[in-house]
Amino acid sequence: MNVLSCSINTLIKEGLYEISGVEVGQHFYWQIGGFQVHAQVLITSWVVIAILLGSAALAVRNPQTIPTGGQNFFEFVLEFIRDVSQTQIGEEYGPWVPFIGTLFLFIFVSNWSGALLPWKIIQLPQGELAAPTNDINTTVALALLTSVAYFYAGLSKKGLGYFSKYIQPTPILLPINILEDFTKPLSLSFRLFGNILADELVVVVLVSLVPLVVPIPVMFLGLFTSGIQALIFATLAAAYIGESMEGHH
Amino acid sequence: MANSIMASSKPLISLSSSTQPTRVNLPKSIKLPQIPKPISSSSSSSSLSSKALSFSSATVKSLALIAALAPPSMAEAMEKAQLFDFNLTLPIIVVEFLFLMFALDKVYYSPLGNFMDKRDGEIKEKLASVKDTSTEVKALDEQAAAVMRAARAEIAAALNKMKKETEVEVEQQLAVGRKKVEAELQEALASLEKQKEETIKALDSQIAALSEDIVKKVLPS
C-alpha cells in the first residue's frame, strides 16, 4: 500500500514537475578545507577569465599603426573604458583604468556568456552552469572590492582628511553618510544579482513553457540589460572612486 | 535519519562529495518545486508531498528550527535560503578578480594603452611639423613672387631702353630723309625759278614782237 501510494505520488510529481524544471538555489558544492564553495560559479568564472585573457593576448600580439580587426575592437573597448573612467574620476584616472576595465569586462563577459554559451551541454551532478554573476557571492565580492577601492582612493589621496567628508556639508548628515558606506555596496551587488538571476529565471521559465518563439525577445532583452548592468556597475564604481578623490567644493 | 536527509530539497547532497554525515537539511524558504529523484522517492515521496502542500508552514518551521539549532551546532551545515548562500566562494572570487585585473593589465591595458598613446604622440608631432612646413611654403611662395616681380621689372626696363634706342635711330633716319627731301625741294624750286626766268625772258622777246604786231595792226598807216 505504501509502495503503491509512493509510486503514484512519484509518478504524479514527476509528471507535473517535468513541465517546469526550474532549479533555483541549487548549487554544485565542493569542499575546500572546512568550507564549501559553489563549484558552478568557479567553473564558469574560470571560463570567463580564459576567454578574456585569451582574446586579449591574441588581439594585442602585433600592434599595427593602422589597426584592423581584433586590434581595432580592443582599442575601441580600451578607449571606451578610458572615457568612462575619465568622465567619472577626472584627470587622475590613469591608475584606475585596469580596475574599472576589469570590472566592466568581467561582468559583461560573465553576463553574456551566461546568456549565449550553451552551458546545458555540461551536466553537473547538481545545479547547473550559468553566468557566474547570478550568484550572490560573485556580486557581493565585486561590490566589496569597489568599496575597498574607493576607500583606498580617498585615503591615499587625502590621508585621514578623507573622513572629513562624513560631516560635509553639515554634521547633521553624519548618520546618512555613514549609512551610504553600507548602501553603496549593497545596492551595487543586489542590482547586478537581481538583474542577472531574474533574467535567467524568466528565460528558463518561458523556455520550459513555450519553447518556440516567445522566449527570443526576452533573450534579446536579457542581452541588452545585462550589458547595461555591466556598464552601470563600472560607471558607478568609477563615480564612487571619483567622488572620494575629488577636492573640496 | 534517512528521513531527515531525504526530507531535504537537495537529496543528492548526501551522495555528493560533502562529507558531513549529520547534516540537517531544512526546507528552503525560497524555492520552486523540485524534481524528486527516483533514488529518494521510496521513503521521501510522502514527506515531500506533504511538504509541497504545506509550504508556508514548512517555512515557519524551518525558521524556528534555524533559530533553535543555530547556536549549538556549528559542525552541521545550515542551509537556510540557498539564494543567499555565502561561503568560501566569495573570497575565491575576490582573488580571481584581482588576478584577472593584474593579468589583463600586463597583457592588454598597458601594452595597448602605451602603444595608443605613442601613436597619438607621433601623430601630434607630425601635425605640428606639417604646420611648420606650411609657413616655409608660404615664405618660398613670397620669394617666388618677388623673383617674378624683379624679372618683370627687368624686362620692362630692357624694353624701354630698346624702345628709346630705336626711337632715336628712327628720328635720325627721319631727319636724314627730311634733309634729302628738303634739298631736292630746293633744287626743284631753284630749277623752277630758272625756268620761270627763262620763260619770262623768252616771253619778253615775244612780247616785244607781239606788241609791235599789235601796233601795226591797230594803227592804220
Q: Does B46 touch chain A (CB under 8 A)?
A: yes
Q: Using CA atoms, how far apart are residues B41 and B11, in angstroms rounded to an integer? A: 10
Percentage, residues of chain B above pLDDT 90: 48
Q: What is the mean pLDDT of residues A41-59?
A: 94
Q: How confident is the model at residue A127 (pLDDT cuts 50, 70, 90)?
A: confident
DSSP E strands in chain A: the ranges are 29-32, 35-38
What residues in B contact A145, CB-CB < 8 Å? 94, 97-98
Compute the CA torsion angle A230, A231, A233, A238 (nearest 10 deg).
140
A180 has pLDDT over 80: yes
For A72, A78, B85, the CA distances from A84, given in Å and listed in that order, are 18, 10, 33
Contact by Cβ (8 Å): A90, A244: no
**Which pLDDT belongs to residue B28?**
43
Task: Count other Cβ atoms within 10 Å, centred on residue A193.
Answer: 23
Question: Are A132 and A138 within 8 A, CB to CB?
Answer: yes
Q: CA of A32: how far to CAs of A61, A143, A161, B57, B96, in Å?
A: 37, 24, 42, 35, 16
Q: Label residue B38 by pLDDT band (50, 70, 90).
A: very low
The answer, for B123 touching chain A at a CB cutoff of 8 Å, is no
Tell me which residue in A2, A57, A137 faces B89 most closely, judged by beta carbons.
A137
Mean pLDDT of A148-153: 93
| Residue A13's pLDDT band (cuts 50, 70, 90) | low
Mean pLDDT of B32-50: 44
Closest CA to B40 of B81, B75, B72, B9: B9
Q: How confident is the model at residue A51 (pLDDT cuts 50, 70, 90)?
A: very high
Residue A214: per-residue pLDDT: 85
> Is the Cβ pair A25, B81 closer than 8 Å?
yes
Give the pLDDT confidence of A161-179 residue by residue, as tens digits: 888 888 888 889 899 999 9
Q: Do B104 and A105 touch (CB under 8 A)?
A: yes
Q: Are A36 and B71 in contact (CB under 8 A)?
A: no
The residues spanned by each domain of chain A are: 37-57+68-118+129-245
- A136 interfacial to chain B (CB closer than 8 Å): yes
pLDDT of residue B46: 47
CA separation, residue A56 to residues A133, A228, B74 (Å): 21, 22, 45
What gap in Å lies between CA B37 and CA B2, rounded to an integer?
15
Q: What is the least distance, in Å, from the CA of B8 to any CA of chain A?
A: 12
Residue B116 touches chain A, beta carbons under 8 Å: yes
Q: Is the pLDDT of residue A208 over 90?
A: no
Confidence of residue A60 (pLDDT cuts 50, 70, 90): confident
Within an 8 Å CB–CB cutoff, is residue A60 touching chain B? yes
Q: Rounded mean pLDDT of A94-98?
A: 93
Q: Is pLDDT of A247 > 90? A: no
CB-count burial class (<10 Å; 0-12, 13-18, 19+) for A189: buried
- Dist CA A53 CA B132 (whole Å): 44
Is residue A82 predicted with pLDDT exceeding 90? Answer: yes
A and B: number of Cβ contacts within 8 A: 173
Q: What is the DSSP letter of B106?
A: I
**Nine-digit cell string for A182:** 553600507
Minimal Cβ distance to A78: which of B101, B107, B109: B109
Cβ within 8 Å of residue B107, ≥6 positions away: A53, A56, A57, A60
Q: What pLDDT score was predicted for residue A223?
A: 94
Query: Residue B6's pLDDT is what?
Result: 37
- For residue A200, the distance in angstroms to the closest alpha carbon of chain B comes to 14
Among chain A residues, CA nearest to B90: A137
Q: Does the CB of A72 have a partner CB in chain B at under 8 Å? A: no
Check pLDDT > 50 for residue A16.
no
Q: What is the reported pLDDT for A167?
A: 85
Q: Which alpha helices (H) appear in B19-76, and where do they start and end?
A: 41-53, 55-69
Work out the average pLDDT over A195-217. 88
Chain B positions in Cβ-Cβ contact with residue A25 (cut-off 8 Å): 28, 30-31, 81-83, 85
Nearest 5 degrees, angle CA A165-CA A166-CA A168?
Answer: 60
Residue B108 has pLDDT above 90, yes or no: yes
**Average pLDDT score over residue span A59-68:** 85
Does residue A169 have a cis peptide bond before it, meaning omega lies within 30 degrees of 0?
yes
Q: What does the pLDDT read at residue A124? A: 87
Report chain B's mean pLDDT, rounded to a whole number: 74
pTM value is: 0.64
Residue A2: per-residue pLDDT:
61
End-to-end Cα, chain B, rounded Å? 211
CA-CA distance, A102 to A86, in Å (whole number)?
Answer: 15
Residue A139 has pLDDT above 70, yes or no: yes
The mean predicted confidence, pLDDT, of chain A is: 87
State how far the Cα of B139 lies from the Cα of B141, in Å rounded to an integer: 5
pLDDT tens profile B50-88: 444 444 555 555 554 544 444 444 433 444 446 788 889
B30/A125 Cα distance (integer angstroms): 21
Q: What angle do CA A225, A228, A231 make, to 5 degrees?
A: 155
Confidence of residue B37 (pLDDT cuts 50, 70, 90): very low
Span B161-217, pLDDT tens digits: 999 999 999 999 999 999 999 999 999 999 999 999 999 988 888 888 999 999 999
